Structure formats: C-alpha cells, structure tokens
C-alpha cells in the first residue's frame, strides 16, 4: 500500500507514540493525515466516531488512541481502563467496516499476554492463560481488537491487522506521577532526588521482574511498515527483543541521572508480570522490521529530553 496516496486517520495521533507515527507518515510523503483530538472527537461515543469518519474520509485508520497508565493507575481504575478502551476500539472498527475503510490497524498491548507465557512471548501463545491481574482489564479490552478484526476478516473480508508493541519509551513520554510508565517514573524519581538532595529512591516490588523496552521512533516505524506491507490475520509483536530487570534498570537510570543514593524496594507493592520479552521474528519475516536504537542510547536521550523540559530539574 502506497500510503502517500491514501487519506489516513491516526487516532491518538497527538500522543506520545502518535506524534512519532504521524512524523513517519510525513517522511513517506503522506499529506492527508487526520488526527482527531479528544476535545472535539471523544471516540468513546458513537456520535464522535461518526463525525471523525465523516471529517476525515479515511481510507486507512491507525488506531492508537487508548487510556493507558502504569500498575498503580490500572489498579486504581480497572473499570475505566476496560470500558474506555473497549468502546473506542469496538465501535470504531464497526463504523470503519460500514463505511468501507480499506484498512484498519489495531494497536494492542503486551498486557494481552498470559501472566506466565513462555519467554520469549510468541503470538501463538496469546490464548494460553489469563493476563497478569493488575492490568488484565486493559489487556483484555485491547485484545478484543484482535478478535473483532479476525471475525470481520472472516465474515466481511475486512482488512484489519493487529500489532502488539512492547513497552515504549523516549523523548516526549508521559512523566506524570500517577499515569506514567516505569521508565519515565524512575527517571523522574532519580532526577527529583538529585535536585532535592534526597538520600534514597523508593521503587515498587523487589526488582526481579523483567521488561522489554522499545524506543518510540522504532515503535512508530514498525507500525507504519506494517500498515504499508502487512495484511495478515495473525497478530504481530513489535519489539526490540531486549530484556532487562527492574533492578538493573533503576541502576542504569541512577547512573545516567547522577543519583548516588540508596535504592529502597517496597515489596508490599506488586512486581506486575514476572517477565516480558517478545519473539519478534514474525515482524522481521512479514515486513522487515528490526529495532535500531540501542537501549542505553535511547535512555540517555530520554533523560536529556526530560532535563531540558523540566522546570525543576538541573543538568547533572
């Protein structure tokens, strides 16, 4: 698919990942890209979806919009995470089908995988168990995009694909205390400790859990490549295949931010899923995607961006 010839709607296109996807589309010569903003188009509601589709006249939809957050946010509002994500995806895909949209790119989440899936996570293992409890409502809501897309492909011949990106990070990430994910959360904690001369930083869990992280520009490239080149029914992982423990992660962040104090583990708080690492061979085989940015470089660029943006931070 030559995307430069298509009208493309990118939901969530003003967000962290979305801005990078829109930039990748621009680099490919796309000039007709519509980004519905929530203040005008609240995609939880059918009327807003209808208006967005009418205003965009989209040939292709890349559905990035989601209610997201870390473990704390998911524990505090599981109903919100389930309902909002489910309603956005289900209604949008049905309306896209009715209007004859050529392609629907559903963006899932690594939280779809079973809590104890064999590592590395293979797409064929998606249904072999229940997701990790703290983010299961979110993961299952996003997983319904896969089920719906496959059902619509079978019944209507609708071209819906499903991509499963791993945890993203990079400049422009969400550094909010309540809703930020682990990397921005730990960066902010360490930078704050340095600025305020605090002797210690507290981290949830015991540090044994592992995560895979993907630099946001790499994630955006994978999504756009799949939009161009992949039309299959099977889900595809988008990742870096780089796994690191939370214990090692905080050690690197402390080093890069100049924090020299003590790391205190709050073992009363959950670790989340024990391990996360994706098998990324399908993405390479189907559309030639491989991550390019190494973790230490990406982390350093993320910290530098945060220091430049923060009103309270000072360079270390």
In terms of residues, how long is the chain? 316
How far apart, in Å, are the Cα atoms of 90 and each of 52, 84, 151, 283?
A: 15, 10, 12, 25
Which of 113, 138, 215, 230 is an active site residue? 138
> Of 97, 211, 119, 132, which Cα lies nearest the Cα of 165?
211
Question: Given the DSSP bridges, would you call strands 200-204 and 236-238 parallel, antiparallel or unpaired?
Answer: unpaired
Rounded to 5°, the CA angle 95-101-104 comes to 85
- Find how far residue 257's CA is from the centre of its chain: 24
Is there a catalytic annotation at residue 41? no
Contact by Cβ (8 Å): 183, 299: yes
Distance CA 108, CA 104 (A): 13
Count Cβ neighbours within 10 Å for each residue of 12-45 and write b for 16 or more, e otherwise. Answer: bbebbbbbbbbebbeeeebebbbbbeeeebbbbe
Kindly calculate the radius of gyration of the chain based on its CA atoms and give it in whole angstroms.
Answer: 19
120 prior amide bond cis, ω within 30: yes
Instruction: Point out which residues pair with 211 in neighbouring strands.
Output: 244
Interaxial angle between packed helices 16-27 and 216-229, expressed in degrees from 0 to 180 and rounded to the nearest 10: 50
Distance CA 32, CA 50 (A): 19
Contact by Cβ (8 Å): 169, 183: yes
Catalytic sites, residue numbers? 138
């Amino acid at each position: 698919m030559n995307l430069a010839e298509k009208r493309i709607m990118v939901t969530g296109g003003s967000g962290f990942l979305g801005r990078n996807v829109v930039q990748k589309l621009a680099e490919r010569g796309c000039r007709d890209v519509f980004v519905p903003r929530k203040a005008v188009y609240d995609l939880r509601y059918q009327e807003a979806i209808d208006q967005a589709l009418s205003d965009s006249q989209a040939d292709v939809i890349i559905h990035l919009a989601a209610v997201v957050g870390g473990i704390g946010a998911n524990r505090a509002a599981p109903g919100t995470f389930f309902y909002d994500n489910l309603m956005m995806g289900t209604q949008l895909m049905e309306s896209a089908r009715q209007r004859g949209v050529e392609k629907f790119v559903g963006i899932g989440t690594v939280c779809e995988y079973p809590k104890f899936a064999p590592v590395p996570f293979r797409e064929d293992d998606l249904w072999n168990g229940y997701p990790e409890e703290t983010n299961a409502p979110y993961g299952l809501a996003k997983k319904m995009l896969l089920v719906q897309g496959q059902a619509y492909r079978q019944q209507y011949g609708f071209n819906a694909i499903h991509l499963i990106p791993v945890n993203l990070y990079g400049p422009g990430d969400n550094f909010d205390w309540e809703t930020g994910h682990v990397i921005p959360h730990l960066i902010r904690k360490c930078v704050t400790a340095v600025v305020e001369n605090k002797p210690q930083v507290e981290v949830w869990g015991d540090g044994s859990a592992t995560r895979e992280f993907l630099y946001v520009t790499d994630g955006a490239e994978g999504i756009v490549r799949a939009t161009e080149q992949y039309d299959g029914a099977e889900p595809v992982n988008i990742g870096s295949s780089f796994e690191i423990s939370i214990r090692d992660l905080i050690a690197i962040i402390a080093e890069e931010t100049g924090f020299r104090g003590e790391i205190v583990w709050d073992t009363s708080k959950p670790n989340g899923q024990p391990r996360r690492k994706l098998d990324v061979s399908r993405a390479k085989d189907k559309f030639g995607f491989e991550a390019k940015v190494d973790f230490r470089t990406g982390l350093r660029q993320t910290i530098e961006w945060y220091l430049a943006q923060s009103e309270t931070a000072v360079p270390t």
